[in-house]
Amino acid sequence: MGKLVVLTLLGAVLALIGERLVAFRQRTNASRAVEPVDLPNCHLIEGLENGSEDIDILPNGLAFISSGLKYPGMPNFASDEPGQIFLMDLNEQNPRVQALNISDGFDKASFNPHGISTFIDKDHTVYLYVVNHPHMKSTVEKFKFEEQQRSLVHLKTIKHELLTSVNDIVVLGPEQFYATRDHYFTNFFLVLLEMIMDLRWTYVLFYSPKEVKVVAKGFSSANGITVSLDKKYIYVADVLAQNVHVLNKHGNWDLTQVKVIQLGTLVDNLTVDPDTGDILAGCHPNAMKLLIYNPEDPPGSEVLRIQDVLSEKPKISTKYANNGSVLQGSSVASVYHGKLLIGTVFHKALYCLF
């Protein structure tokens, strides 16, 4: 009798694991092939060879680009080099990237930048906030941008027990920001288990010097985050659920869900078109190819535009798609007056005119 119970329980566990593995393959679009969608007037950006995971463009056309992310389970072509922040002036006829110098006193050797967000103060000072993973921990670094010197002055390292496994950030005030936690566990094998079992234990938090709190939860893997042009709504990408959450922002910084937009692709970082308010999403059409990297069959790239976000039926269109022959592992797309930048987790970056 005892053996029968054990065998029954073992069979149930194996059946559950099998069902979850099948579901995980579906959620990562493991069988999906990419149908190419090309844009005219595109070229790879010289100098960005080791990723361009996140991009934030100022209203004056200066684009900040985070590069060199080392992320558990993801490919990395420059594991011995620290990460960098690059600048690109999109007002130039042939814009080029320039690595920004970082002030002394900051540990540049362990710099591992992930999501980024800018904030312009009342006196027009530009601050850059960077999600950093030194030694695979999570902090938020606050820099002041010196435009004339093309440099970053490090001002502060922000730490908190809720700032764990941080992915992205959107800054809405002086040291006031929302951040996403993309995994509950920090051990890589437990992270894999978390994804396979679809535990939905990740969240969005609000941080200020006076208050830190979880303001939205229940995500499979909360990823990219940004804010609408009118600052009333927060947009959050749930990469494994293949959707974007539209959340109403309240005066006390709490968030309530308005709607969820299903995309059918694994959405990474989000940006907002400053001219239209549309959401642009950098996506992974087949994330299994990210987890099991094969240079002969690399992960593809995909950029979606979401129009009429608050309507009953938002319009979703594919602006760019590639099977990895040009661009691998797209993570972000950002526009500035007819110019499009597409960044990647670990690969190159694309500049397009449209």
Burial of residue 307 (CB within 10 Å: 0-12, 13-18, 19+) is middle
Residue 104 marked ligand-binding: no
Torsion of CA 193, 195, 200, 201, to 10 degrees: 60
| Spatial separation of the C-alpha atoms in residues 282 and 266, rounded to whole Å | 9
Return the active site residues.
114
Residue 123 marked ligand-binding: no
DSSP string, 13-40: HHHHHHHHHHHHHHHTTTTPPPPPB--S
Q: Which token pair is 1? A: 């009798």
Which pairs count as long-range contacts for 263-266, CB under 8 Å and 24+ apart, including other chains? 263/304, 263/306, 263/316, 265/29, 265/302, 265/304, 266/27, 266/28, 266/29, 266/239, 266/240, 266/242
Contact 41, 300 (CB under 8 A): no
DSSP string, 127-163: EEEEEE-GGG--EEEEEEEETTTTEEEEEEEE--TT-
> 84 pairs with which residues across the strands?
67
Residue 302 marked ligand-binding: no
Residue 101 marked ligand-binding: no
Residue 273 marked ligand-binding: no
Residue 168 marked ligand-binding: yes
Distance (Å) of CA 138 to CA 6, 114, 160:
42, 10, 9
Alpha helices in 146-215, H assignment, sequence order: 188-197
Residue 254 marked ligand-binding: no
Residue 102 marked ligand-binding: no
Query: 16 phi and psi, to 5 degrees?
Result: -65, -45
Annotated binding site for Ca(2+): 53-54, 116, 167-168, 223, 268-269
Annotated binding site: 53-54, 116, 167-168, 223, 268-269
